[in-house]
Amino acid sequence: MISAELGKQLESYVQDLVDTGRYGSKSEVLREGVRLVQERETRLAALDATIMRGVADADASRTAGAEDVFGALRKRYQAMVPDTTE
């Protein structure tokens, strides 16, 4: 069993969530909070891994120059715009 001191402000907020019926107990509020932190940490770990792959690609010169990327994007989006010159 975990016991946590939340402080007056958070304790009051948790109690309000229970009192309004949003959650059935303080434990439910805390479980939901921990679950949300776990989700966020998982997303951050995935983002960190993606960034590290990008850095490794850049270090190994497996990247395209900005002009090439922007040129390809311009070409792609110009193809999407209807020709109104007729």
Domain ranges of the chain: 7-80
> What is the Cα–Cα distance from 19 to 32, expressed in whole angstroms?
16
pTM beyond 0.75, yes or no: no
**Count of CB atoms situated within 10 Å of the CB of 28:** 14
CB-based contacts of 33, cutoff 8 Å, min separation 6: none
Look at residue 36 in the predicted model and tell me its pLDDT. 99
Quick one: pLDDT at residue 83?
78
For residue range 24-76, list pLDDT tens digits in order. Answer: 999 999 999 999 999 999 999 999 999 999 999 999 999 888 999 999 999 99
State how far the Cα of 31 lies from the Cα of 70, in Å rounded to an integer. 46
The answer, yes or no, to whether residue 17 has pLDDT greater than 90, is yes
